[in-house]
Amino acid sequence: MDGVLVDSETYICNAAIMMFSELGIKVLPDEFQPFVGMGENMYIGGVADKHGIKVDIEQVKSRTYEIYKRIVRSKLSSLPGAHEFISKCRKKGLKLALATSADRIKLEVNLKEIGLSRDSFHSIITGLDVENKKPFPDIYLKAAKSLGIKPQDCLVVEDAISGIKSGKAAGCRCLAVTSSFDSSSLREADWICESLLNVPEEALNW
């Protein structure tokens, strides 16, 4: 979702920075980069660990989401080609699962803000549905199972290094979108594109 369908990284980063500021901790945006795509528990918890502070992860995550929901209102936008790509896949008769490391509350906010219905997908898996987050394969194994499709017959669309590792570990083929990392960082993927507006045809025809 984040970095593939919607450009939300700056907002969740700012929300987390504001939350840490309320705790008296000054955090810089670059400190979150190693945890992109791993879910908010790692995104927030990893930075907290780096600063040597113990936090109630559910409490600080809840506060971060409160801030996030406020600052994204009428500001979030879908990434180029997101709606078109989903429509193209559905017209081809492909089954779609939205698999995100984010919690359900963030998913609901994001979909509403970019005008995508839950019905756009045949299945939705969130970070709350799996024990091991990316780069472990759990989320994509669960997504494939929810669709009734073997992992090796699935295409994972990702923007993050941890997501590509997760998809490959699950046995899926991977399409990387360079919205968050450069192509050299995502070279484990089977295909790479700059946006969902220019997805290689072979990525959907194999």
Q: What does the pLDDT look like over 145-189, one tens digit per residue?
A: 999 999 999 999 999 999 999 999 999 999 999 999 999 999 999
Residue 15 near residue 9 (C-beta atoms within 8 A): no
And the tokens for 68? 């996030």
And the tokens for 122? 């045949």
pLDDT at 38: 87
Say what the pTM is: 0.86
And the tokens for 182? 């450069």
pLDDT tens for each residue of 68-77: 999 999 999 9
